[in-house]
Every structure is written in structure tokens, then in C-alpha cells.
Amino acid sequence: MSEVSPVQRVEAPPGSLGAYTTLRLGGPAGLLTVATEPDEAVQAVRNASVAGEPVLILAGGSNLVVGDAGFPGHVVLLRTRGISEIGRDDDSVTLRVAAGEVWDDFVARTVAEGLSGVECLAGIPGSAGATPIQNVGAYGQEVAHTIVAVHAYDRVAGELVTMTAAECGFGYRGSIFKYSDRWLVLQVDFRLARSRDSAPVRYAELARRLGVEPGDRVPLEQARDTVLKLRAGKGMVLDPDDRDTWSVGSFFTNPVVAELPEPDMPHWPTEDGRVKIPAAWLIEHSGFAKGFSTGGGVAISSKHTLALTNRGTGTTTALLELARVIRDGVRDRFGVDLHPEPVLIGCEFG
């Protein structure tokens, strides 16, 4: 790791952060650094710390809501690339992936190479480095199942660190990285099974679409293709011409409660003895249909109740007001609180 690295620093034009987020919302950055190598990203963060500037690390922008006023500090745009094999045995292969790698491209590569473990995470927008932060998951898989190490820069200690999966504190859609700016994720190690078949299918909807029983396995390509079709039908695969995909995916996490507010509502058990309720079901049964809008150029997706979308003329202020109306409606109807899944920058949910 070099002590001094040349980095590309550019003054950010008005509204530029919206160009780097899947919501296409967010005001300007004070300064933007494009980092194509890990040492460039580290040096940019160090430089900002010395200058006393706040720092925002931005890669795919798929799980980020940026306020209309933008971010007045230093934005480091991660554009690092690289996938290398660092371990292999009879049963598995371990790959080291640069934080800036496009996640879905990585998933497609693993499927093509006969490596099982992330095939059901196809079509998720964003970067590989963001996946441990959020403990990205879908259709019965999450990255905590396959991550063995995260390589990061510790801004407090001023040194590079390697953290085991246990040290990452993975939980439901979260980790120790999510609500802290202490660590800059640089690379992630994934251990994947050497198999042309998927991991056991855990998600009931996916099993039904595949025509198999939960716990069965299917060819990797079949699993990935089916997940992509399911996600596309819900507006969860990015399409510049489809406003339903101008979102952060699921805006709310599925709430976990000690007991059900009503006995007949859908739910599934958690490992700690509580139950998880589908947020989409709560929203729909609180009177918010697909396409619901409070104005301001934002609305619930016409394809999926959990996605709050920018229809092309929206603002972050309007989006968060829509989210509050939905949250308050669910609380009034069921007494359950919904919490946002994305990270909020320069704005508050309240």
C-alpha cells in the first residue's frame, strides 16, 4: 500500500450524486474522488481526514438515499476491479473480489464457472464491497453464508485489517459496517462450493417457480435465470426506461416481533424464537396499494409494494414523506414499526 497515490479529484456538478444512485436522487457533492485502485481509495480517505472533511464512500449507490442538499464533504467513488482465486480444495474455491466490482457480474461469473452459493443473489444492483455492509440477501441466500473475510482500512487505527466473518457481526440486513464510517471495505473473500447445482433452495416462492420442494437443488443456470425473472417481474432489475426500477429495492426491512399482532398473518420463525412478518403484506393490508403516491414525483412501485420509486421528477424530501405516511399507516393498523433498509445520507427518516 503506497503512502501517496495520485487520485482523480473532480469538482462535482450540481445534482451529480443522483447520477451515482439507483434512485437518481440527491444533491451535489463538495468534492469527488474517483478511485480505481485500493490504495487510491485509502489515500483519498486519509487526505480527507487530515483536511477535516466528512467522507462518503460511494460505489453502486443501490442502497443509498441522499438528501436534496447533497453531501458537502468528500465523496470517494469506488471503481476498483479485480477477481482472483486465492484458495481451492476438492469441495470449494475461494475468490477475492475488489469492492468496486459490479455484484451481478460477479454472480454471473460464478455460475458460469460452476461455483455455487450466490446464484440466488442474481440481479441485485450495487457493488461487491457493499454486500457485507448490508449482509445482502434474497430468495433464501445471504452473503454471510459465503463470506470468509473482509479486507478493509480501519480509519480509527489508520491501518489495513482483515476481518473474519464472525468479526463482521452479520445479522439480518446488517453488520458492524452498516452504521459506522470506521471501515472502508476494499476486498471481500467468498468461499463457494464447486458444484453445477445450486445450494438447497430455501425460499418457498422460488421453489414454487422452479417446481421443486424446499431443500432441493437445481442447476445453477436455472436458479439464476429464475431469480432474474422473479426480480424483473417486481421491478427489481435495473432498467433505465422503467421508473419502477428507480429505487433502492426494498425500502423497509421485514419487522421481527416477539408475537404476531394477528394470528393469521403470514410469518416465519427466526433463530432467536421471534417471528418475522413480510413488510409488503403489512403495507398492502394497511391500505397502500401498488402505485400509491403522495405526490411530488414519487410512488410505490406498480410492481412491488416494498419499492418506493422516483418517477422521474421526484425529490428525496418527497420520497421520505411517502415512506413516513406508509410507516404511520402500518403502525396505526397493526402496531408494528417499519424501519428503512437503505442508508440515509444528509436526510432523516424521523
Choose the catalytic residue: 16, 92, 198, 250: 250
3-state SS, residue 343: strand
250 is catalytic: yes
Per-residue model confidence (pLDDT) at position 300: 98
| Cα gap 300→322, rounded to integer Å | 8
Specify the domain boundaries for CATH 3.30.43.10 within the chain.
Answer: 8-78
Per-residue model confidence (pLDDT) at position 350: 85
Domain at 83-233: CATH architecture? 2-Layer Sandwich (3.30)
Residue 264 sits at the vertex; the CA angle it makes with 260 and 265, to the nearest 5 degrees, is: 65
Per-residue model confidence (pLDDT) at position 221: 98
User: Looking at per-residue confidence, does 3 or 218 come out higher?
Assistant: 218
> With the C-alpha atoms ordered 235, 239, 243, 248, is the resulting torsion angle positive or negative?
positive
Q: How far is CA 336 from CA 224, 275, 282, 284, 313, in A?
A: 34, 12, 9, 14, 31
Which of 177-181, 193-197, 278-282, 335-339 has the least mean pLDDT? 177-181
Pairing outcome for strands 64-66 and 343-345: parallel
Choose the catalytic residue: 37, 40, 101, 341: 341
* The one-letter amino acid at 283: I
| Cα gap 334→137, rounded to integer Å | 26
Pairing outcome for strands 71-78 and 55-58: parallel
Residue 10 has pLDDT above 70, yes or no: no
Strand partners, 116: 193
Choose the catalytic residue: 79, 155, 173, 327: 173
pLDDT, tens only, 210-258: 999 999 999 999 999 999 999 999 999 999 899 999 999 999 999 999 9
Run of H or E residues at 256: strand 256-257
> Which CATH number among 3.20.20.70, 3.30.43.10, 3.40.50.300, 1.10.10.10 corresponds to the domain 8-78?
3.30.43.10
At residue 329, what are phi and psi to the nearest 5 degrees? -65, -40
| Domain 243-345: top CATH class | alpha beta
Among 143, 138, 137, 92, which residue's Cα sits nearest to residue 113?
92
* The one-letter amino acid at 55: V
Q: C-alpha cell of 137? A: 440477501
> With the C-alpha atoms ordered 150, 132, 108, 80, is the resulting torsion angle positive or negative?
negative
Residue 138 has pLDDT above 90, yes or no: yes
173 is catalytic: yes
Specify the domain boundaries for CATH 3.90.78.10 within the chain.
Answer: 243-345
Q: How far is CA 222 from CA 86, 109, 121, 226, 268, in A?
A: 27, 14, 13, 6, 26
Q: How far is CA 118 from CA 8, 41, 163, in A?
A: 33, 27, 20
At residue 289, what are phi and psi to the nearest 5 degrees? -90, 165
Grade residue 285 by pLDDT with cuts at 50, 70 and 90.
very high
Helix orientation angle between 220-233 and 103-112, rounded to the nearest 10 degrees: 150
Per-residue model confidence (pLDDT) at position 256: 94
Among 303, 280, 275, 277, which residue's Cα sits nearest to residue 290?
303
| Cα gap 83→220, rounded to integer Å | 20
Distance of CA 235 to the CA centre of its chain: 15
Contact of 122 with 140, CB cutoff 8 Å? no
Per-residue model confidence (pLDDT) at position 179: 81
Instruction: Name the one residue in this structure whose C-alpha cell is 460505489.
Output: 59
Grade residue 322 by pLDDT with cuts at 50, 70 and 90.
very high
Grade residue 9 by pLDDT with cuts at 50, 70 and 90.
very low
Per-residue model confidence (pLDDT) at position 12: 41
**Which segments of 192-269 does DSSP mark as H helices, in order?**
204-210, 220-233
